[in-house]
């Protein structure tokens, strides 16, 4: 974890940066994606050339089928790597703008998935984390349900907003 901006009790808005995480896997996947895009372009050009050669009788149908197969395989590889980059936190716009190895970035900005309050934070700057580790929890505290046990003699004193300190894990939250 390079930096962490979400503090316990802090209000955050959806899309607000709350952490920056370094990832070798992200940099490697971006490099493989660029290589796959180059291969796709090459296979596309080869496919077009082979189609033209088949039309004039200078190439066989088998050559065209091979070129088509290689082109489809390259398309599939690019789509798979694109999906992996999205899962690693890159936006579609960021992936589309990736044109050269100099643009490869190994840092992922983690944003709040919803507007709410940080109710749990389980990482600190400098910590090494696993791929599926919960970094923090953002909870919408605008509506809270309370289930309580109250003595019958005290029922008349219970009011909404009475300031009672109640803690519960039952409120709706978003984990990321």
pLDDT above 60: residue 162: no
pLDDT at 82 (0 to 100): 96
Name the pTM for this structure: 0.65
pLDDT above 70: residue 176: no
84-117 burial string, b = 16+ CB within 10 Å, else e?
bbeebebeeeebeebeeeeeeeeebbbebeeebb
Per DSSP, which regions of the chain are E strands? 3-4, 11-12, 17-22, 107-111, 116-121, 136-139, 173-175
pLDDT above 70: residue 170: no
pLDDT at 166 (0 to 100): 46
Residue 26: which of 56, 50, 52, 2 has the closest Cα?
2
Residue 108: which of 10, 22, 175 has the closest Cα?
22
pLDDT above 50: residue 71: yes
Q: What is the dihedral of CA 122, 115, 20, 33, to 10 degrees?
A: 120
pLDDT above 90: residue 67: yes
């Amino acid at each position: 974890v390079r930096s962490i901006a979400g503090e316990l009790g802090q209000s955050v808005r959806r899309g607000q940066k709350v952490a920056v995480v370094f990832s070798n896997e992200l940099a490697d996947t971006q490099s493989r994606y660029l290589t796959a895009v180059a291969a796709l372009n090459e296979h596309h050009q080869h496919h077009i050339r082979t189609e033209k050669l088949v039309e004039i009788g200078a190439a066989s149908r088998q050559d065209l089928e091979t070129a088509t197969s290689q082109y489809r395989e390259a398309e599939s590889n690019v789509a798979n790597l694109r999906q992996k980059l999205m899962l690693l936190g890159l936006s579609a716009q960021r992936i589309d703008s990736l044109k050269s190895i100099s643009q490869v970035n190994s840092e992922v900005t983690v944003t709040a998935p919803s507007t709410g309050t940080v109710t749990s934070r389980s990482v600190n700057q400098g910590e090494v984390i696993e791929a599926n580790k919960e970094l923090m929890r953002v909870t919408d505290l605008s509506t809270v349900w309370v289930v309580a046990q109250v003595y019958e003699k005290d029922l008349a004193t219970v009011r909404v907003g009475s300031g009672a300190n109640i803690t519960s894990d039952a409120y709706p939250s978003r984990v990321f």
